[in-house]
Structure 1
Amino acid sequence: MEAFLIILFILILLILIIIIYNYSSGEGQQNQRTYISCPPQKIEIPIKVTVSYGTGYTNDNQIIKGSRANPDSLWVSFGQSITVNNYEICDGLIYVGKNLVGEYGYIDPSLINPELPIDSSNPDHKGTSLSYWPSYSEISPQARAAYLEWLTRGRRTPDTNIGYVFLFFYGLERRILRDARTSDKAKLEVQEIVTEIEELLKVYNSNNSFCNYANSFLEYLKAAFLPDTLELDPSRLNRSWQYPLGLKIVLGSFAEILKPIPSEWALAWVENDPQRWLRTPAHRCRDEFSQLFALRYRDKYGDGLVVKPNATKIKVEYRPASNGFNNTFLKEIDKPDITVLDGPLRKIHEIAESCINDLDPYSRFIGRRSGDAKTLAAMALLPDELLLAIQDKIVNDLKQYLYNSTSTSSDSTVIKAKDLLRFFNLENKGKIAKADVVSITQLLGRFGYAVIPDIRFQEGQIDPQESVVVFKSKSSTQAVSTKAYSTSTMIMKLAVAVSASDNDISTNEKSILESQLNRMLDLTDYEKERLRAYLRWLYESPSEFTGLKRKLSELGVSQRESVASFVVQVANADGVIQTDEIKMLKKIYGILSLDPENIYSDIHKFQTSQKEELITIQPGIQKKTGYAIPKRKSNENTVELDEGLIQRTLRDTEKVQVILAEVFGNEDIQTTTTESKFIGVIGLDSSHSMLLNLLLEKDNWAHEEFYSICEKCDVLPEGAIETINSRSYEVLNDALIEEGEDYKININLAKEI
């Protein structure tokens, strides 16, 4: 029974499978029949295309029809006239006729065929229909009309499309490069063609392509036919994509006999270097650049650089502009071609580049103010060699005035500001711009003089109505104020103000002030020299101290006490405070609205706060008791400075400087709640400004050198680089210091400071 049921189940299953299969097959066939489509029909649509290029234009114009013409019979010589389709051409130098064979047996591109159609009513003056290599037989009738019109006008119309000039030029090339090989008549026309090309260059020299082809063709013609006419004047050479032939020949002649290359030819070598284009100062300041180059070239190489002759000979190559040629023409000259040598050229480029770098500030100035190139403000930016050699009247007059003003004094001289400013046309200005003041002080510094006041040293502004102090100074190139110097000037200013508070500065008070000069903090010799002149200027500027007591009284008690304490420190720098100094300190206390009687306790407090001198205990001796008294210090006239005290004093300078800057209205110092910031080089504080000035003395520093000068300027090396470069990016858009195996200075940027 079970077996029967199993068989029945299998049969039913098979029947179901057959039914499903048949149903699926039938549906598939039905679907296939439903989606059968007819193949697409091929539709043909006739299109007629007509190409035209002017009336009567066909490609047959390029084909020689009949016998080839003799070139001499088609050539119109210079000075001859000919009429082509009512266009009268008077100056010749063209081919007119038929069947002038060019390259590959086709019509020469320059041939003017009078039988070809011309559209005189619609000439293509702009040359919009011209191809890159125009051929008279192929250009449109409108272009032919424009070309013939240009020829009738004498070939000197400046706004002509350069394609028409090249079309004419093709004929000049053909006359010499092909016809002159077999025609004596053509050989005699070389000079006329050279003259014509030179005249064309005067009109169409703005097109670089034409200039290159024309100048190269001229050189080939002169080398091959007119060697005595080659340009041998370095100032008249034409820069091109290759060295001028005249330059090669002259340099080769020097090398042949081991003769030094004069500076003017060395300059011509770098100026015509096709691989390098000299930067803007070499072109904008061409006269100054050539003068500076000559000075530095002679300074380094004397009569000139000597280059040994090499084996490479001078070759003159010319590849014609016309597509009527497919070859390059070559002429070899039996002279060494030293322009292929890299070594000598590299040495000359180094000199040229140094000149360009040093002229960059001057170039930028006259780029902005082209009309001021001969002013003293501009001349102040010239390199030393040029500035000191200038024989300009205004420069000589200024030098003479400075000499006369200081020749009778071994120290400093007081002059009226107006007398100095008249050399700069600033004597009638109400207020002198900072940029002008910096130009004045820089220029005087270049001549070996310094002026007080100088805003770079935070000494104040030059007032046309007041006096200035001028002194000779060749000992320093320092051009930024240090913290110590700035604070010293303010202390001196306060001391002079106190002395003048009773409308009189006694001789004794002046003596005390001047005696303090050598005690003033940690100043360089140049700063002491300036401070002495600054003190003299203060004597001449009583108006500086108007309302001083009122300003001081507005300070808080702690601020006034800080100033008083600092003055006591300075007075005690040599360990001794004299009686006259006590009197001066009392006057300062009085003007600070402090009790003058406190001066003694303040001095005692300051002195006892210092490290006590150790007392040496003598070894005990039998039957003797007590202590050995230390030997008393010698009371000699020599001053022994307490270096530790000086260093402690320096730590207080910024705090006092900020206070006094507020009192004296010094705009060159910006303050915050914690420290003062001095506006120095590119806005750096005084320490980093001094560091940067030292770094600018050369363009490469070893690590040991860099760390040493950072230590002198009291800055951290790593932080100094970040500080200077950060400010440099803000002002000059680039880094001034590049850190690697050594520290490299970007001299180009430095010139902008």
Structure 2
Amino acid sequence: MKVATSHVDLATTLTFYWSTYDDLDPKERRGYLKWLAGGRCDPKAGSGYVFMFFHGLERRLLVDTQSDAEAREDCTAIKAEIERLISLYYQHASFCSQALRLLEHLDMPAISERMYLLEPPTKSAGNYEMPTLTRVALGQMAKDKYPLNSGWALAWAMTDPNISRRKPIVRCSDFFQRLFKAEYTQRFPDGLKVLNNKTRLRITYRASSPYLDVPPIPVGDLPDVSVTSGIRKKLQPIVEECAELLTPFSRYVGRNVENPDKYDALEGLLLLPTFLWPEYAKRELEKLQSDIGADAIALTFSELAQRFKSDGALPRNQITALARVLEGLNIGMEPDVLAGSRAKTEEHVVLFETEPDEPALRATTDYSVALTTLDIATSVAASGGTNQAQSALLDQHIDSWNHFSVTHRKRLKAYQLLQRLQPPTLSSLKKRIAALQHDEKRTIGYFLAQLAQADGTVTPQQVKLLERAYKALQLDTTSLYSDLHGAASSASGGIISARRSLPASTGADGKRQGSGIVLDMHKVAQLQRETAAVSALLANVFKGDQEDEQISAEATAQNASDAETHLYGLDTEHSAFLRLLVSRNAWTRQALENATATMDLMLDGALEQINDMAFELFDMPVSEGDDPIEINPDILSELTL
């Protein structure tokens, strides 16, 4: 047969797709021989050359092995060659699908009963039909009335060409499989019944060569369940919901393809349910629970984040997500980020054992009064260095606030510990104190003096702060010294005394033993009653303030309703930031950091959320670059602001 001598472009498609060597013209024969001589490695070669060579491999495996021992010895090498061709010519979908079907056919175990007891496959030999093993096993399930368990349900969902599978399923395959099984088991704990339909299952390998006829594989009288839609309609919603849940993490993975170490960092973990977290992260959560026990622990937020491979520079929504994870493990956090507080990277947080509660109850007037009372107390106490006696006394006061649940009292104690580590100032209280009557101010002043005398000693620093507090209360500072003297007399009369003793324990009489401090519970009860009176006074003032602030806030919200319209599913703050962002073609990083600071946003987190939205809706980002941050001009025509 003639072979051309001139140059041939291997990318040229063959005249006939299913050609044999005899069918080729001289140029095509030269191209085929050139491709073979080059080691069958040219990635630009047309798929016709690859298919022609594949026809020979197919015949060798399916026909020659029936009678030729040498051909049977070649099977392993031939399968390896097919896998190499798939990896090299992956862009030729029809070839890859046919080659994968051949490999599946060769690897198919001998048909036996109850194949649904085998490990189910989760990969399809192509995009056009279920794997043979899956179809046989599901048919046997239907015939034997064996319920569809989570493993085979997953195999069905992953290989049925009529079930759509979005990108997160492919990118996060392991997480999807675990998530799907968990969700399926929750919805169908007893499995699903597979219908024994009338269509019979016929398994045959359709060879790529038109000259090769492969006999069907005998599987017995089984239904072909792949043609039914009942189970598929129940699996598709689970697939969709799992894909939707994994979408944020999938985008995170896509943004960090070159940094796979970030996949199991806190920023990524917070996008997943905790049962999908890696083992190291689960151990850290267990260690936190163990460290806390019945006592609160204090650490900086960055120290907490570092336990999960993060530096702690998290946007607000991720800090809130972390707090929700901890709350799900009965670990509370102060500052109370779930109620709107901020947790800054280098500042302390306090973790404590808690129980589920109603967050709305932490926004009541009573709760605000309790927090402010602790603010005043810790501010005064901190001036001389908060000591054990003062802390014990404050805890006793918190325990006496029976109008709060046990869970809320635990949170208040954690708040008190946090305020001792990061003492507040009195300046924020001046406006509210100004509304008090003189007698009410005197009651509060005496309460502060009693707190300062809790350990029997008042330092110059405490006196100085008390003088400031009395001035804020518009009280004569000379009354401070008589109040301190009166409080000291009460202390010497038995409210609190100091002594040396053994390590701390609690005695049957309710006194704290061995701590160096003994509390007279009768005197403490008296002081608690006085504190309750102070709280009541504060409540009257704060309630009025809060009502005024609420009215003002509602008016402001009404006037600004147009400006606060939510855009593309973003919250108010991010919608406002988006409007600002696209008002220029480019920004310096510092300018945007200043802007986001006034909006209580973190720049990187805000940009990430906005760009995620843009990719989802318009398949392009809003901004690009780090400094300067440039606005994508193509998206401006898409946005309606």
TM-score (norm 1): 0.52
Paired with 1:245 and 1:124, the residues of 2 have a C-alpha distance of 39
Counterpart among 213, 218, 242 of residue 98 in structure 2: 213
Please show how residues 660-675 of structure 1 align to structure 2 within 5 Å. none
CA contact (8 A) 1:158 1:204 kept: no
Counterpart among 299, 320, 323 of residue 441 in structure 1: 323
Report deviation, 1:265: 2.1
Match of 1:104 in 2: none
- Could you say what secondary structure the match of 1:450 adopts? strand
Report deviation, 1:357: 3.3
Match of 1:96 in 2: none
Counterpart among 120, 123, 131 of residue 8 in structure 2: 123
- Could you say what secondary structure the match of 1:314 adopts? coil
1:6-44 per-residue CA deviation (whole Å, 9 max, x = no partner) reads xxxxxxxxxxxxxxxxxxxxxxxxxxxxxxxxxxxxxxx
How many residues align structurally? 491
- 1:381 equivalenced with 2:274 (yes/no): no
- 1:142 equivalenced with 2:35 (yes/no): no
Counterpart among 407, 418, 441 of residue 293 in structure 2: 407
Please show how residues 544-583 of structure 1 align to structure 2 within 5 Å. 544-545=424-425, 548-549=426-427, 560=431, 564-565=434-435, 580-581=443-444, 583=446
Larger Rg: 1
- 1:595 equivalenced with 2:481 (yes/no): no
Report deviation, 1:190: 8.7
Report deviation, 1:449: 0.8
Paired with 2:559 and 2:363, the residues of 1 have a C-alpha distance of 15
Match of 2:161 in 1: 274
Paired with 1:588 and 1:484, the residues of 2 have a C-alpha distance of 28
Counterparts in 2 of 1:165 and 1:647: CA distance versus 1, 3 Å: farther
1:385-440 per-residue CA deviation (whole Å, 9 max, x = no partner) reads 334xx532x53144224422x2243xx3444656534414567x7x7764664454
Match of 2:546 in 1: 653
CA contact (8 A) 1:262 1:304 kept: yes
CA contact (8 A) 1:237 1:244 kept: yes
Counterparts in 2 of 1:346 and 1:646: CA distance versus 1, 3 Å: farther
- Could you say what secondary structure the match of 1:315 adopts? coil
Unaligned runs of 5+ in 1: 1-114, 554-559, 572-576, 598-636, 660-668, 686-727, 736-753
Match of 2:279 in 1: 391
- Could you say what secondary structure the match of 2:51 adopts? helix
Paired with 1:684 and 1:651, the residues of 2 have a C-alpha distance of 28
1:311-331 per-residue CA deviation (whole Å, 9 max, x = no partner) reads 221123666545779x99877
Counterpart among 329, 335, 354 of residue 473 in structure 1: 354
Paired residue type of 1:452: E
Paired residue type of 2:273: P
Match of 1:168 in 2: 53
Paired with 1:579 and 1:513, the residues of 2 have a C-alpha distance of 20
Match of 1:530 in 2: 411
Please show how residues 489-500 of structure 1 align to structure 2 within 5 Å. 491-492=372-373, 494-496=375-377, 499-500=380-381
Match of 1:453 in 2: 335
CA contact (8 A) 1:318 1:330 kept: yes
- Could you say what secondary structure the match of 2:332 adopts? strand
CA RMSD of aligned residues (A): 5.5
Counterparts in 2 of 1:451 and 1:357: CA distance versus 1, 3 Å: same
Unaligned runs of 5+ in 2: 450-465, 477-528, 574-608, 618-641
Match of 2:141 in 1: 254
Report deviation, 1:164: 0.4
Counterparts in 2 of 1:588 and 1:447: CA distance versus 1, 3 Å: farther
- 1:420 equivalenced with 2:304 (yes/no): yes
Counterparts in 2 of 1:539 and 1:729: CA distance versus 1, 3 Å: closer
Q: Percent identity?
A: 23
Paired with 2:468 and 2:549, the residues of 1 have a C-alpha distance of 15
CA contact (8 A) 2:142 2:193 kept: yes
Match of 2:192 in 1: 305
Match of 1:359 in 2: 246
1:612-667 per-residue CA deviation (whole Å, 9 max, x = no partner) reads xxxxxxxxxxxxxxxxxxxxxxxxx9x99xx9x999976742655999xxxxxxxx
Counterparts in 2 of 1:454 and 1:161: CA distance versus 1, 3 Å: farther
CA contact (8 A) 1:312 1:336 kept: yes
Report deviation, 1:270: 0.5
- Could you say what secondary structure the match of 1:151 adopts? helix
- Could you say what secondary structure the match of 1:353 adopts? helix
Counterparts in 2 of 1:117 and 1:362: CA distance versus 1, 3 Å: closer
Paired with 1:153 and 1:357, the residues of 2 have a C-alpha distance of 46
Report deviation, 1:516: 9.4
Counterparts in 2 of 1:152 and 1:351: CA distance versus 1, 3 Å: same
Counterparts in 2 of 1:237 and 1:303: CA distance versus 1, 3 Å: farther
- Could you say what secondary structure the match of 2:202 adopts? strand
- Could you say what secondary structure the match of 1:234 adopts? coil
Paired with 1:552 and 1:496, the residues of 2 have a C-alpha distance of 12
Counterparts in 2 of 1:425 and 1:336: CA distance versus 1, 3 Å: closer
Paired with 1:490 and 1:675, the residues of 2 have a C-alpha distance of 31
Paired residue type of 1:420: L
Paired with 1:174 and 1:415, the residues of 2 have a C-alpha distance of 69
- Could you say what secondary structure the match of 1:264 adopts? helix
Counterparts in 2 of 1:491 and 1:682: CA distance versus 1, 3 Å: farther
Paired with 1:479 and 1:280, the residues of 2 have a C-alpha distance of 39
Report deviation, 1:186: 8.9
Paired with 2:125 and 2:358, the residues of 1 have a C-alpha distance of 43
Paired with 1:160 and 1:591, the residues of 2 have a C-alpha distance of 90
Report deviation, 1:259: 2.4
Paired residue type of 2:351: V
CA contact (8 A) 1:517 1:531 kept: no
Counterparts in 2 of 1:129 and 1:528: CA distance versus 1, 3 Å: same
TM-score (norm 2): 0.60
Paired with 2:79 and 2:358, the residues of 1 have a C-alpha distance of 56
CA contact (8 A) 2:57 2:78 kept: no
CA contact (8 A) 1:194 1:218 kept: no
- Could you say what secondary structure the match of 2:307 adopts? helix
CA contact (8 A) 1:414 1:537 kept: yes
CA contact (8 A) 2:32 2:49 kept: yes
Paired with 1:268 and 1:317, the residues of 2 have a C-alpha distance of 20
Counterparts in 2 of 1:157 and 1:197: CA distance versus 1, 3 Å: farther
- Could you say what secondary structure the match of 1:373 adopts? helix
Paired with 1:313 and 1:647, the residues of 2 have a C-alpha distance of 80
Counterpart among 539, 542, 546 of residue 420 in structure 2: 539
- Could you say what secondary structure the match of 2:351 adopts? strand
- Could you say what secondary structure the match of 2:261 adopts? helix
Paired residue type of 2:333: V
CA contact (8 A) 2:169 2:243 kept: yes
